[in-house]
Chain A
Amino acid sequence: MKANPKHVLTGVYYIDGDVASGYGAMAAGCRFIAGYPITPSTEAFEAFCRWGPQVGAMFIQMEDELGSISAVVGAVWSGIKSMTITSGPGYSLMMETIGYGAMLETPFVLLNIQRGGPSTGVPTKTGQADMMQSRWGSHGDYELIAFAPESPQEMFDYTIRAFNLAEKYRCPVMIMSDECVGHMTEKVVIPEADKIDIEPRRFYTGPPEQYLPFKPDPDLVPKMAKAGDGFKLYITGLLHDEKGHPVSNEEYSMKYVKRLVDKIRLNKDKIIELKEENTEDADIVVVSYGISSRVAVKGVEIARQRGIKVGALRLVTVWPFPDEKIAELAKKTKAFVVPEINYGQVVFDVARCVHGQSNIVLVPHGGAGVHNPADIADAIEYAAKTDKQIEGVVEFKTRLEKLVFEGGFKLKE
């Protein structure tokens, strides 16, 4: 299916990532956004508020993040595509209902513009420290999809892709952007509507009496219905059977939760998107995502000037994690360098998939800024020079850490 031309603001723009994402949501057919203002994500909501009503979309600013995500889940079950937008603290509040949405197999999109944490942290500056939270933040077992775009153009493109994957796999999809990308203003090209592919919702079309809301198709994803069509839907967040009725039959119910996990794990190859550069003959591979991968480009460049063979692997989708790809690279790579704007999150998954075959160097950054490319280059050089096998993740000491903790440093406001 193609996008509705009414919803696509075709043209060339100079806008920031937040706004691009708002336009992307419109193009993807999102008809409802429930949000709550939080720096630095509000611009995406504002963009949608401004243009949405002119093409028949609805928006509401709810009383809190708990309310906005619940309204989004409700709106999806009324038959439309829906999205919410937030940042760290709001994301933490949404955790319960994200799990609830996963349980109901509700397709919705959540845009998280990450900022420096924990707690209130640094609201106006960047961070990438919610990555593990996006995978593990709600209680119980579930799997979902997370993107990490690196430019406003990608914010537009991957918002559409997020909606498509949400519909395809009936699961919540996260866009884990960050303040840098959200507030970065760049050229964004919005194509014609007929160039934008839209995944329509997989609606059930048979007789209502025979509808089973949680009976999966062969790809493990069930068909959906909407409220008001006479299906007498019974939808619950308790463990349920194919009819949706609550069960306490443990054997069956465990099979159900397993399917929630498996529908992503087994379709992994179709979901994962990576960008590789010069990894074939690389000694060192830099694994990065989001804004860090743009900074890493410079670091890689410096390292290459120093004569090191460096490749780059960029995780466009961070979850599900590309286990096999990393394991394959590990066979011929001496070390992986992982720059992240946190003190180690995705790097642990890289370490896991390497199975002791290569060294792992983390280039940490606490947030409120991005890496110094020279740190990344130094970390690459360190990794290239280290011949002994090191167990566990090596935390590279950055210039910032030395500056702050080694001698005579005074904080300035």
Chain B
Amino acid sequence: MKADPKGVLTGSHNLSGNQACAEGALAAGCRFLGLYPIMPALEVSERFLERAPRVGATFIQMEDEISALAAVLGASWTGKRSMTVTSGPGLSLMMEHLGLGVMLETPCVIIDIQSVGPGLGLPTRAAQGDIMQSRWGSHGDYEIVVFAPSSPQEMFDYVIKAFNLSERYRIPVAVMSDAYLARLQENVVIPPAEEIDIEPRRYFKGETDKYLPFKRDKDFVPPMVKIGDGYRFHVTGLTHDDRGYPIMNEECQEYNVHPLVKKIRDYTDEIIEVQETGIDDAEVVIISYGTTARAALKAMEQARSAGIKVGSLKLATVWPFPEKRIFELAKKVKAFIVPEMNFGQLVFEVERCSIGKANVLFISHGEKGVENIDDILSAIRQTQQMNEVKKCIIELKKGV
């Protein structure tokens, strides 16, 4: 299916990350925004609201983030592609409904503009401190897909992908931006509508009384219906059977929850997207995501011109984690360098997947935020002196 031209602002524009996010959503066919205002995510909603009347999209400003996501889930069941946008504290409030979205297998997109936490933190400064939260923040078992764009253009592209994957797998998908990318203005090329692929929702086509809301197709994804089409279905956040009726025993728990995990774990190859640069001959690989990837790529180029064989593995999807690829690389390379704007989150995953074959260097919050090329370069230099594999994360010492 192709995009609805009404929402696509074809052309070349100078947009901030946040504006590109709203454009991406509209292009992807998002027609409902449930929001609660929070810094630094305001511009996404502002842009969406400004464009909403012409595009025919609806929005509502709710009383808090809890209800914002609840409304989004409700709206999604009416057949509208829906999203919400927030920042760290709001994401924390949304955690319960993230779980509901998973359990009701409701497609929706959550945009998180990360800033420094915990607590109120520093709302204006970029961070990547919610990455583990996006994977583990709600109670119970589930798997989720998370994108981490590094430029306004990627923001636009990934938001569309996020909507597509959320429809494909019937899950909430998160896009983790940050306060730096939110303001970063760059050229964004929006293609014509007919060049944008849209994954249509998988609707049930049979008779109304034959519909079972959680009867899974072979790929564990059940087809959906809309409210108001006469199917009179029931769905619940309780552990349920195919009919959506609650059953409280361990067989049903296995029957219900295991596929929630499997529908992602068994399809990671289709979902995972990484961008590799200079990996083939690399001795050192920088693993990065989101805005830190910008610094990583620059540092890589500088190191290459100094004659060090450095490669870059940029994670477009942070979750599911590309463990197979890193297992492979671990056997080939000397070290991984993981720059993150936090005090160690995804680096633990890299450590796990390095399986004792490669060193793992971690660079925490740089003084210069996303532009910490110097730190990465000094980490690269440090790897040159390493002869043995240490069985722990090596944290780059900085002058702080």
Contacts and interface: CB of A to CB of B under 8 A. Distances in A.
A and B touching (C-beta < 8 Å)?
yes
Interface string A110-128: 0000101111111111010
Interface stretch (B11-19, B86-94, B273-281, B298-306): B86-94
A350 B261 CA distance: 20
B237 A121 contact: yes
B122 interface: yes
Interface stretch (B136-144, B185-193, B225-233): B136-144
B129 A141 contact: yes
A279 interface: no
A130 B129 contact: no
A1 interface: no
Contacts of A401: 254, 258
B139 A404 contact: no
A352 B349 CA distance: 7
Contacts of A127: 140
A315 interface: no
Interface in A196-225: none
Given A140-B116, A391-B355, A411-B252, A92 B96 contact: yes
Contacts of A120: 100, 103, 236-238
A121 B254 CA distance: 11
B202 interface: no
B122 A119 contact: no
Interface string A86-107: 0011011101100111111000
A374 interface: no
A253 interface: yes
Contacts of B260: 118
Interface string B58-94: 0000000010000000000000000000001101110
A47 interface: no
A238 B120 contact: yes
Given A140-B118, A141-B343, A261-B343, A355 B140 contact: no
B117 A99 contact: yes
A59 interface: no
A327 B391 contact: yes
B141 A93 contact: no
A413 interface: yes
B219 to A, nearest CB: 14
Contact of A95 (B93, B103, B255, B357): B93
B391 A121 contact: no
Contacts of B236: 120
Interface residues of A, number: 81
Nearest to B252: A411
A235 B226 CA distance: 49
Given A102-B118, A250-B125, A140 B248 contact: no
A323 interface: yes
A261 B352 CA distance: 20
Contacts, number: 283
Interface string B339-372: 0001111001101111111000000110101000
Interface in B93-127: 93, 95-96, 98-100, 102-104, 114, 116-122, 124-125, 127
Contact of B118 (A103, A236, A255): A103
B104 to A, nearest CB: 8
A356 B357 contact: yes
Interface in B132-151: 132-133, 135-142
Interface string A121-160: 1111101011011011111111000000000000000000
A68 interface: no
A413 B247 CA distance: 5
Contacts of A272: none
A118 B239 CA distance: 8
Contacts of B93: 66, 93, 95-96
A134 B225 CA distance: 35
A349 B347 CA distance: 12
A119 B356 contact: no
B120 A100 contact: yes
B270 interface: no
B394 interface: no
Contacts of B118: 99-100, 102-103, 138-142, 257, 260
A253 B116 contact: yes
B141 A103 contact: no
Interface in A333-389: 342-343, 345, 348-349, 351-352, 354-357, 365-369
The 5 closest A-B pairs by CB, nearest first: A140-B117, A117-B140, A118-B140, A356-B355, A103-B119
